[in-house]
Structure 1
């Protein structure tokens, strides 16, 4: 067996280091060998070297008069330069690829050249254009017996169908593409691309059960790969998102921090998403300074840190800043209804804290409408919780109770403990408004126990201008104590406690004791004082 054959076999079993060494040691290397060496370098996380080698392969193919192969190398360069954040270079390579293919008879390279074009059309909201090219990609794949191209076309069709609110059809197509991707019938680069798109759809739809299932399957596929190559890092980001929803915050942060470290110089967008995920976990745990730093890093790498940053400002008690932050995020009016739903959910909570019930009601309706249009159980739970909170603020506790109970049941089914606990706080408020103090105490106790299990970190220092005594009162309110019980524990008169409670409501922007409790956990005033 020749050294070249050995190199091909090593690449076929995804032993990229062995394949790299064998290709690098070839004498009389052909343009195809250079291209294969570039792929090995890419899988080993050596992005600069991979781009240089693909550029060499492009030139060698041109010099040899093989425009079809040169176009293939150019399309790879368009993708890889975009991954490292060189958008202008990516567009230049895509134009070169397209120009070369104009003089080449129709072939599979015409299909692969559509990849970034479809992604661009979809990103700009031209779903019909994206769908047309996705179907053309499938047709080219079938005509030239290329299963990878067919699977990519099916994937893109699924993404377009979901954005058209044909969610069941779209998810079925994504599942079909993902099955093909994990069957080892496709090129490994494209297996990872299909997985990333599927996870983006799951996160938009809050379909975390499907996300968990495919993440576990893809992690097994990624196990043989170096951690510094692209897809193990991206898989870590998606796994962190799943773990965060399931309340496994320590593991989620570890996965996200690993991706922050390993993806530098490999995929700038993955690094940005990983930093954002770190910010989300820290915000939920009450590490507000750490969350602020992580959101800042996400922004530095090119990711809009919303709605997390606006919710962080709310947790810090900076209601005016939170209001301005979320309004600015929504102001451009870009993105699909599905993409804007999380922003509207955040705006609902922020507007309620600011006392703008009318704005909160409009935003809650946007979340509900998105949930209905996109048949999303997660968004439906979010919409019911937002609408229930608005109804409570309007004094309509009976109507609120029905929606909050549905939200609670849905979050339980989705295995989202933090969301369950937050919904319990609103249920406690509804029960209290209806005069059922026992039920309110039970919900509050259950929420408090859940926050303790999750490891919400107590914050050192006093947020939103609270005095030390007011912080004591906040913690006792969050523990479910009445004004009389607080007075007894702090050796104060009930009148003094009532004054403290009134001041606290004003400072934190709460309209109920459950609102104060939510603030206590959001701002890190409750829970253990360590990350353990």
Structure 2
């Protein structure tokens, strides 16, 4: 056997063991004249795993032709179907329709087999789900499972089970649908399913979890999928919308640098052929920048908007952060109107509406948004919605002066955020917990919660608005009061602030009068309770 013949043998063995880089190296070195239809299909699959997408499309087309020439229409149809899915993922709708149409023609007149099930799941399930017809999708999903069982096709069966779960979720039967999603992903973990189909299952799973804010499931299956992929000798991870969802997870977990980097890469890579993915990626970039107080956040929201993504509720939260309370309130109200009647689309807007209304002192609006969010969380019962609803309810109770009722609710919200790995959201809840403890006279607990929150904010580089001084104190008087609380003498304060002792004494007289105290000890206590510190 010559060297090129040996390369083909090595390529076949490497592909069989899922060592795609080695398979590609040897396929590249082999004589293409010796390739069978199966070799071309294997070569096409292997190059996809190492990121050579154009080669995947070229070789897949050649494999389809070779299967058809060899009178193997089922294999040709499956290859054409795979090419249609790849083109669709790239936003190349015309090519996708062409290949899917070819697949349909190739199976005409053939006895029913797995390829019929795959085509049906894709055309009838995906089409009906996109069109908002979950009942029709559910029927197709169950028929696809029947074909998978009859032909003992583990991949088709798993796709059918997951499709049934997604259809149930879309029809509102979330508690019935989620176990089916899990069952399909368990099949992926078992290693019994083709790796490409495993990637499809993961992408559908993470998208379904994102839609219903099931953060716990989203995190768990993403972590397990990354562990599985780490066992495969290939350089490619699944891209597209599931990559955007992974960036969203990084945002939630406080991995802001990586979230922004990965989202910018996605925005650049997909801007040519999947503008919708690029738009979602730009929204992630905007959120990172808003949370950090980066002035470029507005531009990133504009980039998302220019690509068709509603920039709400982030843009409304940005306006609130910038001090435009009226503009933020108007924006979030219009965002709720734009969300229509879909409770899942409205949920994140309601969460933002609570914060914006509380910042503007509009307690009735905040309470209404929190009540709607609670109703959605009660119906859907997913981890993310429950955490959002709990935090919103606690914030409203606190603003209404019901600190004793707010405290256990905020504690529960904090626990929920921690369990989801959402450190920033947990820290924000800690700030409200501190306010609740302070209202109940527990200054020590309040200080502990604030220290915990500020440590997270410092670690993340989170934006923190400069609070207005309490009780009419000036900025300079706050500086003097903070130093008094630190145990400094008048002379120490004068030296630190580069003012005279007499000026310090005058400031103290004004401070004591404004805050209603008669001693330095009482003033120090006031400073502690009102968070008047040297770093304020």
Quickly name the TM-score band, shorter chain normalised.
0.7 to 0.9
The alpha-carbon deviation at position 345 of structure 1 amounts to 1.3
Q: 1:17 to 1:248 in 2, by over 3 A?
A: closer
Work out whether residues 21 and 233 of structure 2, in 8 Å CA contact, stay in contact via their aligned partners in 1. no
Does structure 1 residue 15 correspond to structure 2 residue 22?
no
Work out whether residues 244 and 281 of structure 1, in 8 Å CA contact, stay in contact via their aligned partners in 2. yes
The alpha-carbon deviation at position 236 of structure 1 amounts to 6.0
Work out whether residues 234 and 259 of structure 1, in 8 Å CA contact, stay in contact via their aligned partners in 2. no
The alpha-carbon deviation at position 255 of structure 1 amounts to 4.7
The alpha-carbon deviation at position 180 of structure 1 amounts to 1.5
Q: 1:326 to 1:197 in 2, by over 3 A?
A: farther
Counterpart position of 1:141:
148
Q: Distance in 1 between matches of 2:166 and 2:203?
A: 11
Measured against aligned partners, the alpha-carbon deviations of 1:312-332 in whole angstroms (never above 9, x if no partner) come to 333233444434544444434
Structure 2 unaligned blocks of 5 or more: 483-496, 498-503, 516-529
Counterpart position of 2:493:
none
Q: 1:98 to 1:421 in 2, by over 3 A?
A: same
The alpha-carbon deviation at position 84 of structure 1 amounts to 1.3
Q: 1:294 to 1:448 in 2, by over 3 A?
A: same
Q: Distance in 2 between matches of 1:457 and 1:333?
A: 28
Q: Distance in 2 between matches of 1:405 and 1:415?
A: 15
Counterpart position of 2:450:
444
Work out whether residues 312 and 335 of structure 2, in 8 Å CA contact, stay in contact via their aligned partners in 1. yes
The DSSP-based 3-state class of the residue aligned with 2:228 is helix
The DSSP-based 3-state class of the residue aligned with 1:27 is helix
Counterpart position of 1:308:
314
Q: 1:70 to 1:375 in 2, by over 3 A?
A: same
The alpha-carbon deviation at position 426 of structure 1 amounts to 2.3
Counterpart position of 1:49:
55
Name which of 104, 109, 113 aligns with 1:103: 109
The DSSP-based 3-state class of the residue aligned with 2:18 is coil
Normalised by the length of structure 1, the TM-score is 0.77
Measured against aligned partners, the alpha-carbon deviations of 1:127-185 in whole angstroms (never above 9, x if no partner) come to 22222222112111111121110111122222233344544543332222122113332
Counterpart position of 1:511:
none
Does structure 1 residue 172 correspond to structure 2 residue 179?
yes
Alignment map for 1:271-350 (pairs within 5 Å) = 271-289=278-296, 291-299=297-305, 303-333=309-339, 336-350=342-356
Structure 1 unaligned blocks of 5 or more: 464-470, 499-515, 518-525, 528-532
Counterpart position of 2:203:
196
Counterpart position of 1:72:
78
Q: 1:313 to 1:116 in 2, by over 3 A?
A: farther
| Larger-gyration structure (1/2) | 2
Q: Distance in 1 between matches of 2:323 and 2:92?
A: 39
Alignment map for 1:383-532 (pairs within 5 Å) = 383-434=389-440, 439-456=445-462, 474=468, 485=478, 488=481, 493=510
Counterpart position of 1:382:
388
Work out whether residues 280 and 308 of structure 1, in 8 Å CA contact, stay in contact via their aligned partners in 2. yes
The alpha-carbon deviation at position 71 of structure 1 amounts to 3.0
Work out whether residues 222 and 231 of structure 1, in 8 Å CA contact, stay in contact via their aligned partners in 2. no
Work out whether residues 244 and 277 of structure 2, in 8 Å CA contact, stay in contact via their aligned partners in 1. yes
Which 10-residue stretch deviates more, 187-196 or 122-131?
Answer: 122-131
The alpha-carbon deviation at position 249 of structure 1 amounts to 3.0
Work out whether residues 254 and 460 of structure 2, in 8 Å CA contact, stay in contact via their aligned partners in 1. yes
Work out whether residues 215 and 383 of structure 2, in 8 Å CA contact, stay in contact via their aligned partners in 1. no
Counterpart position of 2:190:
183
Q: Distance in 2 between matches of 1:51 and 1:496?
A: 79
Q: Distance in 2 between matches of 1:344 and 1:257?
A: 27
Q: 1:89 to 1:232 in 2, by over 3 A?
A: closer
Counterpart position of 2:167:
160
Counterpart position of 2:525:
none
Q: Distance in 2 between matches of 1:41 and 1:496?
A: 77
Counterpart position of 1:220:
227
The alpha-carbon deviation at position 85 of structure 1 amounts to 1.8
Q: Distance in 2 between matches of 1:50 and 1:335?
A: 42
Normalised by the length of structure 2, the TM-score is 0.76
Measured against aligned partners, the alpha-carbon deviations of 1:38-75 in whole angstroms (never above 9, x if no partner) come to 32332232333333443444455556665434432332
Counterpart position of 1:132:
139
Q: 1:267 to 1:22 in 2, by over 3 A?
A: farther
Q: Distance in 2 between matches of 1:301 and 1:85?
A: 14
> Looking at both structures, which has the greater relative contact order when contacts are Cα pairs under 8 Å and sequence separation is at least 6?
1
Which 10-residue stretch deviates more, 337-346 or 200-209?
Answer: 200-209
Counterpart position of 1:506:
none
- State the aligned residue count: 485
Work out whether residues 207 and 242 of structure 2, in 8 Å CA contact, stay in contact via their aligned partners in 1. no
Does structure 1 residue 368 correspond to structure 2 residue 374?
yes
